Amino acid sequence: MANVRQYIPLATAEEVISNSFTNANTDTALISNNTIVLSELAHLKSVIGKEFYEELKTQHNNGTLTVANQALMDDFLVPCLSWFVRFEVINEIQYNSTSAGVVTNIDDFADVIDPNQLDDYKQDTYRKAEVFLHDMIKFLNEDDQTGNYPTYETNRPNASIAYKNHGIIFYDSIYSNQTTYDSWRHFCMCDDC
């Protein structure tokens, strides 16, 4: 395994703010490089595969992105990563660790939201990140992209999926490589899936 942790993150704090924050004046110091790398490792690396992740990190660090990889970064990966970073920094924005303990960040013109509202906010942020992630993976797997991302294609992670629906665990992996099959979960008739 190459040490790609030494390389620059796949997105900057400025890109994260412009792609996922409503307040463009958000302090970039709240979004550290370590938080961006944490988001890469937690939410992207296993989905796109270690080899493709390392290829993107290396090319991005060296300024040698292929045309296809640059398009993927600009149109899919950076917006997706931005929402995952926002998800990871929400607690840091809401709270602050001090020598006196964990305190709430609040200014003179704001009110602290209750824990249920914060939970809803975080869940909505994560949902948006997942929408971008699924769109990116769908793009990578499209027939018209064949040959554009050879490292991804030859090292594509196993797409086995386990998910819960109404308290039942479903495994949808046996059909993951067939292009004609679309899981029933995309056509669920209930209102709360």
Six token digits for residue 135:
């769109």
How far apart are the C-alpha atoms of 124 and 187, rounded to whole Å?
Answer: 21
**Of 5-9, 27-31, 109-113, 152-156, the least confident:** 109-113
Q: What is the pLDDT of residue 162?
A: 62
Q: CA–CA distance from 89 to each of 60, 92, 136, 150, 181 (Å)?
A: 23, 5, 22, 33, 37
174 pLDDT band, cuts 50/70/90, is very low
Residue 159, pLDDT > 80, answer no
Per domain, the residue ranges of the chain are 4-157, 159-193
Residue 178, pLDDT > 50, answer no
| pLDDT per position as a tens digit, 59-104 | 999 999 999 999 999 999 999 999 999 999 998 888 777 888 887 7
